[in-house]
Amino acid sequence: MCGIVGYVGHKKALPILMKGLKRLEYRGYDSAGIALLTEAGLLVAKSAGKIARLEEAIAGINADDCNHGIAHTRWATHGEPTELNAHPHIDNNNEIALVHNGIIENYRTLKEFLIRQGYEIRTDTDTEILVHLIRFHYHGDLTEAVRNALNQVEGTYGIAVISSMHPGLLIASRMGSPLVIGDGDGENLVASDVSAMLEHTNRVVYMEDGEIATVTADSFDITTIQNVKITPTVEEVTWTLDEIEKAGYDHFMQKEIHEQPTTLRNAVRGRLNFEDGIPRLDGLNLQYDELRQIERIIITGCGTSWHAASIGEYLIEELARVPVEVEYASEFRYRSPIVDKKTILLAVSQSGETADTLAAMREARNRGATVLGLVNVVGSTIARESDGGVYIHAGPEIGVASTKAFTSQVMVLTLIATLLGRMRHLSVQQGRELIQSIEKIPYQVESILQGEDRIARIATDYYKSGNCLYLGRGINFPTALEGALKLKEISYIHAEGYPAAEMKHGPIALIDENMPVVVIALKDPVHDKVMSNIAEVRARNGRVVAIASEGDTEIADHVNEVIYIPKTNRLLTPLLAIIPLQILAYHIAVMRGCNVDQPRNLAKSVTVE
């Protein structure tokens, strides 16, 4: 979603801001802009479309002396993604520039007020209103003007403001939209995401809602919008620059697919206890007797995280016999959910910033639930607002289509389910066997990745399809949903996931020779039933790609293509079955010439509801 980067220091601001914007590209955007503070005043450039077009727009400018500015990638909400609507927005005197993530909900009322005061509104955005409001409140102190303006605002924001009247000063504030201050050496940055500042510093301050930062090259002071002074906590980010670069792969998504053996090892590192078969998850902040008292778990999330949550439901119910409900975070608080003190709400989120997931979590807390987070980004809002939780340690995920975060989420959910199971009826031996199987998973993922060329070859037969169906049963029904999501997100082929047996209640009407069907058909208790579903597809000339268990040679006679995965505990099979589906989607999208890492209209981190 929208990205912010701001710089004040002793270096040339333009290349730093442009590089920062490129680091934020993965979040998804449709226009971009920059404002630099020069001796002649504010210099603003904006463009619709990709950052490359902004680079063309600024090609001729000389900003060598400029070491102060803000920049933005916009994902349109109010007003089309045009050059005019792109940020930064400027006040009528061309003296104050503002970039904004989020939505100003009362902008219509404020707009009418400002028009009455004589301000000229030039764009369709809610953001422009805010820059005029800051101007309205400006009487010589920029921080005060921002504070007074924000006190009139309803909605969400992460903002950065500069002014030609205050060289060397950068004001930042957040409410519901992430913002980080980078503590550099004789330079400071603000950004919506640490990846935009990692080249300059790994010392960061995560801003809290309702805080305003007054930033110069040498200092930053934080106050609340009620003007209470805050002592900032500087934290060190462990992510490295290598992790946010492609490392020789064609796309971040491909790199991230290949990182999975490593990221899965990181997800379980220090957490596997082979002796007593009880995973160690100290971050949950729950004692064994508290774990035993849990009567109900709600797992919530969006997109891929929701699919991981759905696999978590199978895992926890089967291993621990605790009732689990999986809720779309966006639906949760609008349907009066039944939540009490004995309920655990587990929020699953790669970014830790998804607005719907955060809102669901806050609603559950208000109703008395203990709230846990299963998050990748350290220091993110969900991580900070949870009572406890588990980091998945997948490292930065840049590809918009989630891959390594998904498998790490499922892995950590497996650990949680095993832990809860061991607190109840699972024996030491059952716990140990699960942990031994878990330990083998990264090696098994490696062996599947070695088959990438063959899967790419299969993709050549299917990449021209207009539709695709994904079928799975039991714990691999959500895997089928995730496989379908991967394909549709990045290749724009319409794809749906279904429980295999449901096919005959609708989707079977679509089956013909042009409708490929990807079936997860592993050797498990429902294998024969799934084979019957495959026969139903084949009888209607449908083409079948099967994900099958190693050793199942018989299946090859009944399908068009087989991709084998190694044998493991049935409950761990999603961790393996999803890998070929990720690879298939990736190669199909590449063959279709799609922008794999930044699919159209999608955002990596969705910070608006």
Question: Which residues here bind ligand G6P, judged by CB under 6 A?
Answer: 301-305, 349-351, 354, 357, 400, 402, 602-606
Taking CA 526 as the corner, what is the angle to CA 522 and CA 529, rounded to the nearest 5 degrees?
A: 105
Q: Report residue 395 as tokens.
A: 């490292």
Q: Which is nearer to ligand G6P, 1 or 537 (CB)?
A: 1
Q: Indicate if 11 belongs to the active site.
A: no
CB of 340 to ligand G6P, least distance (A): 25
Q: Which is nearer to ligand G6P, 200 or 604 (CB)?
A: 604
Q: Which of 255, 486, 488, 604 is catalytic?
A: 604
507 DSSP assignment: G
- Whether 50 and 26 have beta carbons less than 8 Å apart is answered as no
Q: Give the side-chain half-sphere CA count within 13 A for 378.
A: 14
CB of 357 to ligand G6P, least distance (A): 5
CB atoms within 10 A of CB 274: 10
CB of 302 to ligand G6P, least distance (A): 4
Q: Which is nearer to ligand G6P, 61 or 594 (CB)?
A: 594
Q: Which is nearer to ligand G6P, 370 or 598 (CB)?
A: 598
CB of 503 to ligand G6P, least distance (A): 25
Place of tokens 């655990």: 344
CB of 462 to ligand G6P, least distance (A): 23
**Looking at beta carbons, which residue is closest to ligand G6P?**
303
Q: Which is nearer to ligand G6P, 189 or 603 (CB)?
A: 603
Q: Report residue 169 as tokens.
A: 């000063």
Q: Which is nearer to ligand G6P, 353 or 561 (CB)?
A: 353
- Whether 132 and 92 have beta carbons less than 8 Å apart is answered as yes
Alpha helix positions (H), 222-352: 252-258, 260-268, 288-293, 303-320, 329-332
Would residue 365 be called left, alpha or beta, if left means φ above 0 and alpha means ψ between -120 and 50 degrees? alpha
CB of 178 to ligand G6P, least distance (A): 11
Q: Indicate if 2 belongs to the active site.
A: yes
Q: Which of 2, 66, 302, 468 is catalytic?
A: 2
- C-alpha distances out from residue 132 to 81, 109, 152, Å: 21, 13, 12
Task: Name residue 375's amino acid.
Answer: V
CB of 563 to ligand G6P, least distance (A): 23
Taking CA 460 as the corner, what is the angle to CA 455 and CA 461, rounded to the nearest 5 degrees?
A: 100
- C-alpha distances out from residue 168 to 203, 220, 333, 415, Å: 20, 12, 43, 49
Q: Beta strand 324-328 with 296-301: parallel, antiparallel or unpaired?
A: parallel
Beta strands in 337-450 (DSSP E): 343-349, 370-375, 388-391
Q: Report residue 484 as tokens.
A: 């379908």
CB atoms within 10 A of CB 438: 24
Q: Which is nearer to ligand G6P, 32 or 358 (CB)?
A: 358
**Which residues are within 8 A (CB) of 140 and not within 5 positions of it... i.e. 6 or more apart?**
none
Active-site positions read: 2, 604
